[in-house]
Amino acid sequence: MELIDTHCHLTFDDLACDIDSVIARSRAAGITEWTTIGTDLQENRKAIDLTERFENMYAAVAIHPHDAKTVTADTVQELKKLAQRRRVVAIGETGLDYHYNLSLHEDQRRVFAEHLKIAADLSMPVIIHCREAFGETMEILEEYPSGIKNIVFHCFSGSAEQAKIVLDKGYYISFTGVVTFKNAEKTRLAASVVPLDRLMLETDCPYMSPEPMRKQKVNEPALMIHTAKFLAELKGIDFADFAEAVTATSRAFFALPTTKPTNLTPPTSLR
């Protein structure tokens, strides 16, 4: 069994300070590939450097919506350069966060659009961060030029109805350990409508450890096994089959190299 943590922040201090053990524990738990997500230029560079150190590790680059206010034309240019580095497999996380509102909505929309342009130009997948901004996020996604490879809503917190809208567009949905939380019935209902060929798993570590490890302050990729088992059970699917299916989905989404032949059909173009 092999699982891919499709969204983690391995360059953040809590994990970076002990990265060899973090990766060893992850491998031992069966989580053997990672996409580590950059959130500003410095983190993007660190993420790319880290991928050079570990086999099967990839990076995604972006400026987080929280930091949209800091983004200039130079930032966008530099980001586009970084996006073309070896082992960078996606643009993200980008989108709108109207929960924390750490940047003005206007700045967030502008920077989101810039990210979409880069992804379209380079024909790359996009990882969307969307909090309390579902309608506007969908509207902006409608506007950008075609060419973006795939789109995933990460750490999905919407309803089952919103999940259906996302799926109808041909996009993917990714779940964190939040789906295991007692009060997350809405997220479980959303998960139940997502087919395995559109579903991915992530930790979003160092945040949000899943149950029954929720008390572990620093989440890490190894703990994704709990989210995976929980979702397999929720969907009533044999765990090995579930793991194989979501790994194939993640591989297709990011176009990761595969060592084994799979029966997977290539991802359908979004437009």
What Cα–Cα distance (Å) separates residue 151 from each residue in 18, 29, 42, 43, 92? Answer: 31, 28, 24, 22, 10
Identity of the residue, 6 or 180, whose beta carbon is nearer to Zn ion in the bound complex = 6
- 3-state SS string for 146-199: CCCCCEEECCCCCCHHHHHHHHHCCCEEEECHHHHCCCCHHHHHHHHCCCHHHE
Does 80 sit near Zn ion (CB under 5 A)?
no
Candidate segments 86-94, 192-200, 222-230, 262-270, binder of Zn ion by CB under 5 A: 86-94
Please choose, out of 46-54, 65-73, 87-95, 110-118, the segment that lies near Zn ion by the rule CB under 5 A: 87-95
Among 80, 109, 115, 129, contact with Zn ion (rule: CB under 5 A)? 129
Select 43 or 114, whichever has its Cβ closest to Zn ion.
Answer: 43
CB 134 within 8 A of CB 163: no
Closest separation in Å from C-beta 184 to Zn ion: 16
Question: How many whole angstroms separate alpha carbon 195 and alpha carbon 168?
Answer: 12
Stretch in the footprint of Zn ion (CB under 5 A) among 125-133, 144-152, 244-252, 259-267: 125-133
Using CB under 5 A, count the residues that bind Zn ion. Answer: 3
Q: Which of 130, 204, 223, 246 binds Zn ion (CB under 5 A)?
A: 204
Would you say 93 and 128 are in contact if contact means Cβ atoms under 8 Å apart? yes
Contact between 109 and Zn ion per CB under 5 A:
no
220 binds Zn ion (CB under 5 A): no
* Count of beta carbons in the 10 Å neighbourhood of residue 74: 9
Residue nearest to Zn ion (CB): 129
Instruction: Give contact residues for Zn ion (rule: CB under 5 A).
Output: 93, 129, 204
